[in-house]
Amino acid sequence: MTFFDRLQKRFGRFAIPGLMRYFCILYAAGFVISIGNKAAFELLYLDPHLIMRGQVWRLVTWLIYPPSSSMIWGILMLFIYYSLGTTLENVWGTFRFNVFMFSGVLLHIIAAFILWGLGMPTYITPENLNLSIFLAFALSFPEMTFYLYFVIPLKAKYLAIFYGVMELYAFITGGLAQKITIALCLLNLLLFFAWSGTLRRFSPQDMKRRAEYRRASGSGNGQPERKIVPVTRKESPVRTARHKCAVCGRTELDAPDLEFRYCSKCAGDHEYCSEHLYTHTHVTEDGGEGSH
């Protein structure tokens, strides 16, 4: 079990389900405030100097800045970010997505305090946080197709390269303040994938396969779930398996390419392979089976 797995096992119950929904609510509230009372933004933006003087609400309210000032593009961007964030949470799990988002928020705040300490402007918005969501999605689903202006099909990996080159150019040509902001705000992406071991490429076929599994097993439609017969594990005369899937019974000796993770929603110690981590039925405290 990795350090991140132990962390998830201990604190996973505190994760907030549907976290992206709350970020989108903040963005929507920010858009309404920007239309009704632009002066109110003076009380909301991230200012370390005022935070140190007692205005601690600014540690949270800076997230209220919407991704666009246009109503049409604002609604479209909210829909896109909600879809991307929800998909990542479904694929990674609630705890991992929570860690990704909150570590990104923390690094933005750290960047603001560093700039303040150096006597530089500290205008920080969630723009880079939103970009990190898209880049994380592109790393997980590189073959997913987006339609630029609803017409031009582009794969996620090419859009990610485009935005990555733009950020690199801004980092090289920008001043020290811009370098610090970009480096720290996007450092979350690198640290998270390196630390949690979450990086795994998924395809639309993977999502279709999982949806078909849920329908076949009767999840969510009131039908009884099919019992999965565990595969008999081949005993190795030399090595002893350290990981075993609670659903199919396979170990790292049977399938070296499989990854194994503990489920934070199951009562007790239950480990699953990468094929069943998101499709198994959660075990409850009374020994029964809960929902997916």
What does the domain layout of the chain look like in residue ranges?
Answer: 15-196, 226-283
Mean local confidence (pLDDT), 273-291: 69
pLDDT tens, position by position, 89-110:
888 888 888 988 998 899 889 9
Q: Tokens 């396969």 identify what position?
A: 209
Mean local confidence (pLDDT), 144-160: 76
pTM: 0.63
The one-letter amino acid at 141: F
Strands (DSSP E) contained in the chain are 145-148, 152-155, 260-262, 271-273
Lowest mean pLDDT among 49-58, 119-128, 146-155, 205-214: 205-214
Cβ–Cβ under 8 Å, residues 53 and 123: no
Q: Does residue 116 carry a pLDDT above 70?
A: yes
Phi/psi of residue 155, nearest 5 degrees:
-75, 150
Distance between CA atoms of residues 216 and 200, nearest Å: 25
Q: Tokens 């991704």 identify what position?
A: 67
Per-residue pLDDT at 149 = 65
Is residue 145 classed as helix, strand or coil in its secondary structure? strand
Strand partners, 271: 262
Neighbours of 120 (CB within 10 A): 16
Proportion of the chain above pLDDT 70, given as a percent: 76
Q: Does residue 237 carry a pLDDT above 60?
A: no
Distance between CA atoms of residues 5 and 11, nearest Å: 10
Q: Which fold has domain 15-196?
A: Rhomboid-like fold (1.20.1540)
Per-residue pLDDT at 227 = 46
pLDDT tens, position by position, 1-19:
566 777 778 888 888 999 9
Lowest mean pLDDT among 80-84, 115-119, 139-143, 191-195: 191-195
Q: Does residue 87 carry a pLDDT above 80?
A: yes
Structure tokens at 102: 């909150």
pLDDT tens, position by position, 42-76:
778 888 888 999 889 989 888 887 776 677 777 88
Cβ–Cβ under 8 Å, residues 105 and 63: yes
**Run of H or E residues at 169:** helix 156-173
Distance between CA atoms of residues 91 and 31, nearest Å: 29
Cβ–Cβ under 8 Å, residues 62 and 124: yes
Written as one string, the DSSP assignment of 215-261 is: HHHTTTTTPPPPPPPPPPPPPPSS---S-B-TTT--BTTT-TT--EE
Neighbours of 291 (CB within 10 A): 9
Per-residue pLDDT at 198 = 54
Nearest-5° Cα angle at 291, 231 to 213 = 50
Q: Does residue 200 carry a pLDDT above 70?
A: no
Who has greater pLDDT, 41 or 158?
158
DSSP one-letter code for 142: T
